[in-house]
Amino acid sequence: MRATVNNVLIYASVAALLAASVSNWVELSKIVPAYIIEVIPYLLGFLVLCVMLIDVARWRRLPIPGKYIVLLILYLGIFLMSAVVNKVDVGDLVGALVRFFGFLPYFMVGALVARERRAKRALGVVVLAIALCEVPLAVYQRLVMYSHLSTGDVVRGSFSSSAVLSLYMLAVSVYLVARVVVGDGRKTYLLAALLIFFPCTINETKGTVPLLILALGAMALLGVSRRKRFHVTAVIVPSMAVLLALYSLFYYIYWGHNIFTYYAEGGFMSSLDKQVDPREGHQDSRKKVGRVDAVRIAWDELKRNDKILFGFGPGNVTVFGIHPTRLQARSDSAKQEYYVNLGVRMNAIAFWLWNMGILGLALLVGFLVVVLKDSVRCATSLCGDKVLCAAWVGISVEALASLLYKHQLPHGILIVPHLLFSGMVAKYAQEAAIVSHQTRYNVQTSRSI
DSSP of 409-439, one letter per residue? Answer: TT-HHHHHHHHHHHHHHHHHHHHHHHHHHHH
Q: Which of 367, 362, 364, 355 is nearest to 298 (CA)?
A: 355
pLDDT per position in the chain (449 positions), as tens?
667 777 888 889 999 999 888 877 776 666 767 677 788 899 999 998 888 888 777 766 777 888 999 999 999 999 999 999 988 888 888 888 988 999 999 999 998 888 888 888 899 999 999 999 999 999 988 888 888 877 777 888 888 888 899 999 999 999 999 998 887 777 788 889 989 999 988 887 888 888 999 999 999 888 887 888 888 888 888 888 888 888 888 878 777 777 777 777 666 666 666 565 555 544 444 446 678 888 888 888 888 888 899 988 887 876 444 444 444 444 444 444 554 555 666 788 988 998 899 999 999 999 999 999 999 988 888 777 888 999 999 999 999 999 988 877 778 899 999 999 999 999 998 888 777 766 665 656 665 65
Cβ contacts of residue 146 below 8 Å, gap of 6+? 154, 155
Q: Which helix (H) or strand (E) holds 321?
A: strand 321-322
| DSSP calls for 324-387 | GGG-SS-S-HHHHHHHHHHHHHH-HHHHHHHHHHHHHHHHHHHHHHHHHHHHHHHHTSSSS-HH
pLDDT of residue 126: 94
3-state secondary structure of 322: strand
* Cα–Cα distance, 49 to 284 (Å, whole number): 45
Q: Is 20 exposed, middle or buried (0-12, 13-18, 19+ CB in 10 A)?
A: buried
Q: Is the CB of residue 211 less than 8 Å from the CB of residue 438?
A: no
pLDDT for position 285: 43
**Residues whose CB falls within 8 Å of the CB of residue 87, separated by 6 or more in sequence, listed in order:** 313
- CA–CA separation, 108 and 61 (whole Å): 12
Cα separation of 432 and 429, whole Å? 5
Q: What is the pLDDT of residue 214?
A: 92
pTM exceeding 0.85: yes
Spatial distance between the Cα atoms of 286 and 288, rounded to a whole number of angstroms = 5
Q: What's the pLDDT score for residue 423?
A: 93
Which of 424, 411, 395, 401 lies closest to 171 in space, CA to CA? Answer: 395
Q: Which residues contact 368 (CB under 8 A, 6 or more apart)?
A: 396, 399, 400, 403
DSSP string for residues in 200-219: HHHTT-TTHHHHHHHHHHHH
pLDDT at 437: 64
H or E element: which one contains 86? none
What 3-state DSSP class applies to 89? Answer: coil
Q: What is the pLDDT of residue 442?
A: 62
User: What is d(CA 396, CA 373) in angstroms, rounded to the nearest whole number?
Assistant: 9
Closest CA to 71 of 364, 352, 351, 310: 364
